[in-house]
Amino acid sequence: LHTHDTSSLQAATYLKAVEAGVNVIDVALGGLSGLTSQPNFNAVVEMLRHSPRHREFDQASLNQFSDYFEALREQYYPFESGLLAGTAEVYEHEIPGGQYSNLRPQAAALGLLDKFEEVKQRFHDANQLLGDIPKVTPSSKVVGDLSLFMVSNNLTPEDVIAKGESLNFPESVRELLRGDIGQPLGGWPTDIQHAVLRDEKPFTDRPGEHLAPIDFEKEWAEFEQAHPYAQFTDLLSSLLYPKVFADYWEFRKSYGDVSRVPTPVFFFGLKEGEETIIEIARGKSIIIRLQSIGPVNAEGMRTMFFTLNGQTRNLEVRDQGVEVKTVHNQKADRANPKQVAAPLQGLLSKLLVEAGQQVTKNAPLFVIEAMKMETTITAPEDLT
């Protein structure tokens, strides 16, 4: 049995499940437990100590592990869910615990953090629009994407249906209602499916039937040549998430395997005179010491002086805090049908048309992306 403890009541759920004969329960060490995580492992051990199903654990050892990870957790504070106590709201909005802490940074990236309470309400509304579906990865992400889209565009559930044919929904919503990850028993609600897909015909069979088979030997040979030192698991990641993997690989080519960098150094950097030890392979470590930071030059660059195993090195990096310019992007005039507005704040990831090109109504124009949520913007009418 797996659950998250957003309500702070799930230890009671586990107790009743144990009494009913459950085989396995999912828990988290005390220092990492509770709220959007799992119930407290250390406490569950004590809860069952005098029950017929007690299992012997070294509680002192568990507490030591808990203390270690509690201290380590403080280094990851930017990723906390924002909850300070359990909340009964989870029974209303039904946001899965594993998604709750991801939804906040998504909202922040879209400039909606001050409307997070509305996002939670719209999560409930989006779930109802989609037929009150089981919310696990990836379906829960789609509900979250739709809720953010509704808040960003000031849409009610009624607006989604009534204005659907003129809205540019996130790609994940289109894929879900098209049947790319399957169909629920009885199918999707026809009103929102028609509003989102318009004239596109959805799948009614197994979505995997529409995928071309993969020749793993051929794919691996090509992949290994293009990605030196890659592992077969990297190929699987590339096949499942091509864009995410491409971004990851470009980052790794630039910076190497940063998972070996100590957590505080990765997040907060070194101070002048501070050093760190990085294990680059088993039994092989390097010592890096930041000696000094040079002044900003005319191009906004600083020279960083450091030592690597005692040898002096220097590196030029751009100071992102210098000459900050405020860019005001032109906003579309909604009264002018010839101007096409982006429904969400994000990055322009793909341009699908050229200047002067004639396009028909609903033709794709460009794609914007924010926090792994892609949205294809289409023409509201025939345009040039």
Q: What is the dihedral of CA 343, 127, 363, 331, to 10 degrees?
A: 0
Specify whether the CB–CB gap between 344 and 152 falls below 8 A: yes
pLDDT above 70 coverage of the chain, percent: 97
Partners of 302 in beta bridges? 317
Report the range of poorest mean pLDDT among 167-176, 311-320, 375-384: 375-384
- Break the chain into its structural domains and give their ranges: 10-197, 216-255, 259-318, 347-378
43-78 residue pLDDT tens: 999 999 999 999 999 999 999 999 999 999 999 988
216-254 residue pLDDT tens: 999 999 999 999 889 999 999 999 999 999 999 999 998
Name, in order, each residue with C-beta under 8 angstroms of 296's C-beta and a sequence gap of 6 or more.
302, 319, 322
Distance, in Å, from the CA atom of 282 to the CA atom of 14, rounded to the nearest integer, reads: 41
Distance, in Å, from the CA atom of 368 to the CA atom of 170, rounded to the nearest integer, reads: 9
Q: Could you tell me the CATH superfamily of domain 10-197?
A: Conserved carboxylase domain (1.10.472.90)
334: confidence class by pLDDT, cuts 50, 70, 90: low
Total-model pTM:
0.76
Partners of 275 in beta bridges? 289
114-158 residue pLDDT tens: 999 999 999 999 999 999 999 998 999 999 999 999 999 999 999
Name, in order, each residue with C-beta under 8 angstroms of 239's C-beta and a sequence gap of 6 or more.
214, 219
CATH fold for the domain made of 259-318: pyruvate carboxylase f1077a mutant fold (3.10.600)
Distance, in Å, from the CA atom of 91 to the CA atom of 127, rounded to the nearest integer, reads: 13
